[in-house]
Amino acid sequence: MLPSNLAELIARVPPRYLNELEEIRLRRDRPLMLGLGGSDYFLRQDGTPVSVPDGAYLIDAADLVKVLHNISNSSLYALEEEFKNGYVTLPGGHRVGLTGKAVLENGRVKTLKYLSGLNIRVCREIKGAANGLIKHLIEHQAQNVYHTVIFSPPRCGKTTLLRDLVRQVSNGLPGMQLAGRTVGVVDERSEIAGCYRGVPQMDVGVRTDVLDGCPKAQGMMMLLRAMSPDVIVTDEIGSMEDIHALEEVFNAGVRVIVTIHGSSLRELANRPALKYLLQLNVIERFVLLGRSRGVGTVEKIFSGADLPNLGVKMC
């Protein structure tokens, strides 16, 4: 998706850096920046990553126009819906965030124009990413998984971990006495399964059904009514509409695994919608991710019984 000049520039970056590439940030009239292993680096013309912007390659308007034309197959009009949401998902699950001037209609964002910044987030499939965690999420008596919330600040590997959990639960784990379960994934941003024309490009398991590009709350109801899932999975919940849909899933006896942005359970409990979710007293495992030992580090696992000690009152 990058024009040749930027692709050649990034290709000069030493492999030890590229192996940790998380983001490519293109801001008009400002230095090209790479997110590498949790740190930000500016990029010089020779491909050398540096910590200061002096001598770094400056992104100009032509660079942004070329990237946008590549992303849209030279038809920006075709991406109007994505522009309204502020991002475009590429085949393979990579996501391009967009900034510029918002065009409003009835007080809501209709599209973006005069685009001034792009953030290309690199999606990685890491099979085995959930190996150390999955044993803590299996309820052996019910031969199923616990209702689970995975939470962390941005860029801590929630989606990568979630994808591998889906694969393992779907395929089954004979060594842990877990038969394969039918998994329904609501992939609103096309990041979990990386669908292209509705077909997952990532390995999400043999018993997994994916609703791609579908709003989370609506998608959960569609899967519940039509696909008989044992487990429903979705990414980055947060609205009250999402929580009410989850409540319907709980009432149907279907397990859930979801992710949320947040750095602590106290922080989650301070948001009205998530506080309601916690007060339902249904979630059995809370998994906090961080970067203390690299992206995707499982910092701590809480059980539902820990919530009262954190000041969360149950219904």
CA nearest to 190, candidates 179, 182, 180, 199: 199
pLDDT in tens, 96-148: 999 999 988 888 888 888 889 999 999 888 999 999 999 999 998 888 999 99
pLDDT in tens, 66-95: 999 998 877 776 677 778 888 888 887 788
Q: How many CB atoms lie within 10 A of CB 3?
A: 16
In the predicted structure, residue 315 carries a pLDDT above the cut 50: no
Q: What is the 3 state secondary structure string of 107-174?
A: CEEEEEEEEEEEEEECCCCCCCCCHHHHHHHEECCCCEECCEEEEECCCCCHHHHHHHHHHHHHHCEH
Give the containing element (helix H, strand E) for 78. none
In the predicted structure, residue 150 carries a pLDDT above the cut 70: yes
Three-class SS of residue 309? helix
User: What single-letter amino acid sits at 180?
Assistant: G
% of the chain beyond a pLDDT of 90 = 67
Residue tagged 């948001």 (tokens): 271
Residue tagged 């964002």 (tokens): 109
Looking at residue 183, the DSSP 8-state letter turns out to be E
